[in-house]
Amino acid sequence: MNSCTINSDFSKDAYRLYWRVLYRTLAAAILVLFATAIYLDPISGDLTRLGGYPENLFGWTIPQSRFSPHLYDTGIYNQYHDIVVFGDSFSAKHSEEQTDVGTYWQNFLAHRTGMSVIVFNSRKTIIGDVIENPIYKSRPPRIFIFQHVERDLIYAAQDFAMEQQNGSECKAQPLKIQEPLDLHPLAVEPEEFDRSAVYLPLASNFPVLELDQAANVLKRRIVDDILGLRRSDTIRLTLKHQNLFSSAASDQFLFYRNELRKNNWRDLEIHKTKCRLVTLQNRLQADGRTLALTMVAPDRLTAYSHHIDDPTYANLSKLESFDTSGLQMVRVDKPLIRAIDGGLKDVYLPNDTHWGVQGHRIVADEVFKSLQTYKAIR
């Protein structure tokens, strides 16, 4: 047997070995992918989705509550409403959020007051279009609530940049008190639902396999946990206690990386933002018929700050800096933090940026108290 034959046989054996190893590696990878998909609960939270964390560990287990149908209108402004809400995902549902439309805080406010409420999504609507609407102009709402999440607050109300000189744009105009509205509580009650209702809207006896979710979980755990690169939009920290969430990993805390940006806010940026918000408030109240309130949804880091084991993430909030200059601000952060400090579970959902139903109830109560303070209701 010559050397050419030997080399040829060796090449064939190496070729076959290469493909056997490749096929077996691919088969093992596919097996791991399918096994992971079978193990995982379908995705429901935005933090678990962005960070590739399993719902099995971070999904909520205490039932939520919702009104069905929900108690407010959205989108089309073709009739008078007592309350107009202009807000982000803490008030208006986007397609990717798990918050049920019947769970939002404005449901509980409408339920308690009997007022008509319409909500506009700030991602899809320009605030100027709302206040220039013929219905709005002919019969303004009694109450306008401008809601914005804390982490992006310095970008709020960009349409109302400073227009006046000598700082006068930062001076709030006096509020003209109108006759308070009577309350007519609604005779409906919310219903309970569990997490399966979020990701299984249609009845099914078959498991839901989300291979893309499984691939994301595997990728993020390799990149973040094994390689230590930590490039996910979701950051995980350890809590001092295990009684703040109903999830299996109740001692773990997820939050959105962008919440850290406010640590770099400059005083000038904060000042300009306050001026825009006061300018908006003055504009909304100029006709003497509308009470304008600003409500900031506090970041998760703000709400759970002193329950996090790592002190690096404590005291990053800038909300106190905004509660000045005559801005009529509903400080929902304070009752939310009190409830969390008292051990109330799932004030924020363990797998999501947003409030659970407990948080929405607290926010509705605080808005109600503000309406009483400003004598908008009896």
What does the H/E/C string look like for 268-297?
A: HHHHHHHHHHHHHHHHHHCCCCCEEEEEEE
Helix or strand holding residue 25 (H, E): helix 3-39
Burial of 221 (0-12, 13-18, 19+ CB in 10 A): middle
Q: Tell whether 276 and 332 lie within a shared domain.
A: yes
Evaluated on CA atoms 177, 136, 324, 92, the torsion sign reads positive
The amino acid at residue 116 is: S
Whether residue 203 is contained in a domain is answered as no
Where in 267-369 does DSSP place strands (E)?
A: 291-297, 329-330
Where in the chain does DSSP place strands (E)?
A: 64-66, 73-74, 83-87, 117-121, 143-149, 191-193, 234-238, 252-256, 291-297, 329-330
Helix or strand holding residue 105 (H, E): helix 105-113
Whether residue 193 is contained in a domain is answered as no
pLDDT score at 34: 61
Q: Tell whether 19 and 76 lie within a shared domain.
A: no
Largest CA distance in the chain: 108
Q: Are strands 191-193 and 64-66 parallel, antiparallel or unpaired?
A: antiparallel
Alpha carbon distance 347, 344 (integer Å): 7
CATH number at residue 348: 3.40.50.1110
pLDDT score at 203: 37
Q: Tell whether 35 and 69 lie within a shared domain.
A: no
- What's the domain count of the chain? 2
- Domain holding 27, by residue range, is 9-39
Alpha carbon distance 279, 115 (integer Å): 26
Q: Tell whether 14 and 104 lie within a shared domain.
A: no
Q: Tell whether 75 and 17 lie within a shared domain.
A: no
Alpha carbon distance 119, 36 (integer Å): 39
Whether residue 349 is contained in a domain is answered as yes
- Cα Rg of the chain, angstroms: 26
pLDDT score at 229: 63
pLDDT score at 164: 41
- Can you say whether residue 331 is alpha, beta or left, with left for phi > 0 and alpha for psi between -120 and 50 degrees? beta
pLDDT score at 233: 86
Alpha carbon distance 351, 246 (integer Å): 10
Q: Tell whether 25 and 138 lie within a shared domain.
A: no
Q: Tell whether 85 and 144 lie within a shared domain.
A: yes
Alpha carbon distance 66, 105 (integer Å): 10
Alpha carbon distance 183, 202 (integer Å): 38
Whether residue 260 is contained in a domain is answered as yes
pLDDT under 50: residue ranges of the chain:
164-167, 200-207
Preceding amide of 69 cis, omega within 30 = yes
Q: Tell whether 166 and 301 lie within a shared domain.
A: yes
Q: Tell whether 176 and 105 lie within a shared domain.
A: yes
Q: Tell whether 116 and 25 lie within a shared domain.
A: no
Whether residue 32 is contained in a domain is answered as yes
Whether residue 64 is contained in a domain is answered as yes
Whether residue 351 is contained in a domain is answered as yes
